[in-house]
Every structure is written in structure tokens, then in C-alpha cells.
Amino acid sequence: MTRLLIIGGSDAGIAAALRAREIDPGAAVTVVVADAFPNYSICGLPFYLSGEVPDWRALAHRTAEEIGMAGIDLLPEHTARAIDPVGKTVAVGDPAGRMRSLPYDRLVIATGAVPVRPPIAGIDLPGIHLLHSMEDGFRLRRYLDERAPRSAVIVGTGYIGLEMADALTRHGIAVTVLKRGQVVLSATVDATLAAAVEEELQRHEVELRSGVAVEAIETTAAGLLVVGTSGLRQETDLVLVAVGTRPASELAAAAGVATGVRGAIRVNRRMETNLPDVYAAGDCGETWHRVTGQNVYLPLGTTAHKQGRVAGENAVGGQREFAGSLGTQVVKVFDLAITRTGLRDQEATAAGFAPLTVESKAWDHKAYYPGAHEIVMRITGDRRTGQLLGAQLVGHWQAQVAKRVDILAAALFHGMKVEELNDLDLSYTPPLGSPWDVVQAGAQAWVRQCRSGGNTSLRV
């Protein structure tokens, strides 16, 4: 009987546990969970806070009872303190502070990520929130219910920051979003598509301030004062800091596990670390990028589930390899969906490709059928080989933008050329699409520009 111990009860940890039990029903699987909420969708917190999801319990991928019924032993509110890779034990503390030693034959580290805490004076004052755990969500919900803030400042323009701008606006709160750079979602899409997102935010009366860095937050008689560069002095009732995450790899590193990109745990495609019988998966570890063939840090829930599944299978004797990530992702901001897969132009250049990026527009379905929405798309391909390298799309959230990027992700996964997108047999009916789908119209625009010797990032 294999004793499999898993540290972390979110996406990767539970996926590993479930897969291990599928492959080896006799395995003794124990999951150490730092809080009381195993397998909850943290990605769903903005929609709980907006009121779109009324009951927080609905955010559970699986209940603790369902996990237990799969033969998995959960230890909620237990914290792993130290790993002994020689003795094959993990020191764990319970809610009362009592320590115990848990033995293992195989260990999966799935400790996830933690929010980046920028060096802002006063960041721990009441009324200042981060959002990365269920407790963070409950804390913010109580603040909204009890204090009824009329204004909010959001520091950060990534997914959480913009989703929360949407969520707080639904409460009638006046929202100001502060950004260091000049565009929102700078790590996701190019400037022309980011501009469309900014227009959507402004259409919903979200104020954007560019090129500012927050230095301090102070309390005043009226509430909070956010102070920063470029003369920033913004009074507000609430502050949300959402400037990204970093891998929670300290526990692993202290035990001798090697780390790599951005301090993430270094793993091979079998999710093995440098230590015998120790695996890692999810946001605490590196990700193998399928296009570049290099390890990167891409903390995504979809990736965590897949990596956890691979780690769990291999921990009980399997031989599976992680197939790689393309960084496929999507976010909804008010009525827009913003999505990408693969490499952008500058990323492709850094990886040694000769990229050409072409922007085009097409209707999500035949324009004569009511309710058509325009989708803006940027395709990146290698001008020497014609290989598809990546894509970005922005359009109405009901225009099936996410499913269209999934077509491109599948094409990328299988190494297709841009022109080969035109050979795909895609569905068509006037209320839902066109004889040449949006992705195919974008592919044709790219091929025309490539053949004519077009310049990089040319719009058509």
C-alpha cells in the first residue's frame, strides 16, 4: 500500500488525490489543507462578491464529503511546517497548535501561490484588502455589508483587479483603478486590445489613472488616503491591492527542493522535483510551455488541475508526462471577454521565432441576424514557417470569444500552421457563426499580410 501525502487542498492537490485513487484504489491518500475550504474555486470570489453567485458554498468544486467518499483523508486547518525528505515525514500543526509527524512513501507539494504584497506603507490598515483565499473573500464581504463603502481604489490591473472593478461597481461603489504602466492587462494582451478594455471600464464609470505607483496608505477622519507618485492623493473608503501572485515555495525550498523561474519549484514533465519520491504541481511550481519548450511560471487553475492529475498518477506508479501549457486564459470585464493563447509578438521574438502579428475584425455571426457582435483578433505566426504561435481576442462576452480561442489553442497544441486553420471543419448557422468563422477570417488576414511581406503588428 502506497502512503501518498499531499500538501495543499486546492486545484492541484485535490486533482492529484483523486487521480491517485483512480489509478490505485488501495493507496492511502492524505491531504493536508491549510484552511477549512478544500477544493474551492478562488477564481469565483469576484462573482460571489458581486452578488452574481449568492451563496459562497456554490464555489466548491467538490464538498469535503464528496472528497471523503473518494477514499481521501482530509486534514483541514492543518499546516505543514517542515519536510524531512530523508526520514520521509512532514511535520504538521493542527488548529490547537499541536504538532504531529506524518509519514509518506510519496509526497506531492501543491502549496499554490500567495498574493504579492508590495512595499506600501500602511498596507495592513483596516479597510485594505487582498483577495486570494476564501477568508479574504469573507472579510471583504463583511466590510461591504457593514461599512457600505461609497468609493474604492483598486491597485493593480490584472484579472482580479478588473473583475473586482466590475464587482464593486455592481454595488454602486465609485471605483478608481490605479496602474503603474500605461495600459491594463499588460501581461495578457497588446495595447490595441487593452484600449478596448479601458473603454469598457470607462463606459461603466470606472476611473483609470495611469503611470502611478502607490507609496503609502493613511487613515483620515473620512476614511483612507492613498498617496503615490505623480501627485497621487486619492481619498477612498476601501482599498483592494491586487498586483499578482508569487509561488508559495518556501516550505519546499527549506527541505532542499530546487527552485527555478521566479522562485517556483523546479519540476520535470513527470512533475518530479530533484528529491526522490517528491512531486510538485500547480501554482507553486514551474510550467513547461508547449510552444517554446521552456519552463515558465504560469499560475492558472486549468494548468494546476492537469499537473495535479499527472503528479497523482505518477506518485502511485504511473508514467505520465505533463503535455504542456499554452497560457490559454480568459477574463470577463463587464460586457467584454478578453482572451489569449500562446505567444505574443515580443514573447515569440524572445523565443527565437520571426513573428508577424496581424489584427483583424469579424462578426461573431452573420451580421443580418440580430445581435451580432464584432470580435477583434490578433494572430501571431512565424513568418518563415507559417507556424501558428499565438492569438488574442476581445469581444462581447456572449460572442463565444472563449470557445474561439479554444479552437486556436487546440491548433497550437497540435503544431498547426496559420493557413491550416482554414481547413478546419467548423459549424455554421447564421445566428451562431459564418461560413468562414472568426478564427478563419483572422487566419486569412494573416496569410495575406505574410505573403505580401507585411510588417509586424500590421492592422488590417
pLDDT in tens, 25-42: 999 999 999 999 999 999
Q: Which three cell numbers stand for residue 238?
A: 476601501
Which band of pLDDT confidence, cut at 50, 70 and 90, is reported for residue 459?
very low
Percentage of the chain lying above the pLDDT 70 cut:
98
Give me the mean pLDDT over the 395-418 stretch: 97
Whether pLDDT at 395 is above 70: yes
Domain boundary among 261, 284, 315: 315
Do residue 408 and residue 376 come from a single domain? yes
| Separation between Cα atoms, residue 388 and residue 50, nearest integer Å | 38
140-191 tens-digit pLDDT: 999 999 999 999 999 999 999 999 999 999 999 999 999 998 899 999 999 9
pLDDT at 457: 44
Q: What single DSSP character describes residue 439?
A: H
Structure-model confidence comparison of residues 291 and 456, the more confident one: 291
pLDDT tens, 257-297?
Answer: 999 999 999 999 999 999 999 999 999 999 999 999 999 99
Whether 444 and 368 share a structural domain? yes
Q: Averaged over 400-417, what is the pLDDT? A: 98
412 shares a domain with 438 = yes
In a domain, 120, yes or no: no
H or E element at residue 308: helix 301-315
For the chain, the average pLDDT equals 96
Residue 122 lies in a domain: no
Residues 257, 151 share a domain: no
| 43 given a catalytic annotation | yes
- Given the residues 2, 3, 28, 43, select the one marked as catalytic: 43
64's enclosing H/E stretch is helix 64-69
Q: What is the pLDDT of residues 327-371, one digit of tens each?
A: 999 999 999 999 999 999 999 999 999 999 999 999 999 999 999
* Judgement on whether residues 206 and 140 belong to the same structural domain of the protein: yes
Phi-psi region of 398 (alpha: psi -120 to 50; beta: other; left: phi over 0): alpha
| Residue where one domain finishes, among candidates 315, 350, 373 | 315
Q: Which one-letter amino acid corresponds to residue 373? A: H
**Domain range spanning residue 88?**
3-114+245-315
Residue 294 lies in a domain: yes
How sure is the predictor about 455, in pLDDT bands with cuts at 50, 70 and 90?
low
Tell me the average pLDDT across 53-79: 95
From the list 260, 217, 210, the residue with the least C-alpha distance to 235 is 217
46 and 147, same domain (yes or no): no
State whether 168 and 229 are in the same domain: yes
CATH of the domain at 164: 3.50.50.60
Q: What is the arithmetic mean of pLDDT over 217-241?
A: 95
Please state the domain count of the chain: 3
pLDDT at 10: 95
Residue among 372, 420, 419 at smallest CA distance from 398: 372
**CA neighbor of 442 nearest in space, from 384, 379, 357:** 379
Whole-number Cα distances in Å, 429 to 248, 366, 435: 47, 8, 8
For residues 151 and 216, state if they share a domain: yes
Whether residue 22 has pLDDT greater than 70:
yes
Whether 326 is in a domain gets the answer: no
